[in-house]
Amino acid sequence: MATVMQTDRLLLREMEAPDADFYFRLHSDPEVLRYLAGSPPASIEEQRARIATHRQVYYADRGFGLYAVTDRASGALLGRAGFLVWEFDGVTEIEVAYTIAPEAWGKGYATEAAGAVRDYGFHKLDKARLISLIMPANAASIRVVEKLGARYERNVDVMGHDARMYVHLRD
């Protein structure tokens, strides 16, 4: 499991099939689901299949994707952070996306992980513009992207949900 990014406290690595139990719990948690578009996985097997598909469509085909966020000291999984690709009004956008498990909320992990992802997008992927998509009720996540210097641009439809699009611009 190769590390893709690291911060003082975190390692971000490719998601693997053994991570499915954690991500099944994460994506089935009602507190987390309030802020995510899409449907939760029906089973751990479906979560494994989603990871396998993500590995192919993102890591293999695009060279980037969502990564497992782990605690450097303990190795414990804390969430996921990385990139998703969207199209709005015929324009392809790359999202800095992150989801941290509720038990790790309020400790700065989302800001740390999202900042590392944003910087990787600017410097390793050579992107001048990245976005973050946030449900309007997710005040904590809005604070995260604002801390990182992103600015609100407009509301967009994400899989049938209203989301606020924030833009990160490379200086």
What does the domain layout of the chain look like in residue ranges? 3-169
Q: Give the mean pLDDT of 98-114.
A: 97
On whether the CB atoms of residues 36 and 27 are closer than 8 A, the answer is yes
The CATH architecture that domain 3-169 belongs to is 3-Layer(aba) Sandwich (3.40)
Task: Provide the CA 43 distance to its chain's centre, in angstroms.
Answer: 21
Query: Is 135:159 a contact under the CB 8 Å cutoff?
Result: no
Residue 1 has pLDDT above 90, yes or no: no
pLDDT digits (tens, 9 = 90+) for 150-161: 999 999 999 999
Q: Among 97, 112, 119, 87, which Cα is nearest to 32's?
A: 97
Average pLDDT, integer, range 132-159: 97
**pTM of the entire structure?**
0.95
CB atoms within 10 A of CB 90: 5
What percentage of residues in the chain have a pLDDT greater than 70? 99
Burial of 138-160, coded b for 16+ CB within 10 Å and e otherwise, reads eeebbebbeebebeeeeebebee
Q: What is the mean pLDDT of residues 120-139?
A: 97
Q: Exposed, middle or buried, 51 (CB in 10 Å: 0-12/13-18/19+)?
A: buried
How do residues 17-68 score in pLDDT, each as one tens digit?
999 999 999 999 999 989 998 889 999 999 999 999 999 999 999 999 999 9
Sort 168 into a burial class: Cβ within 10 Å, 0-12 / 13-18 / 19+: buried
70: which strand partners? 11, 77
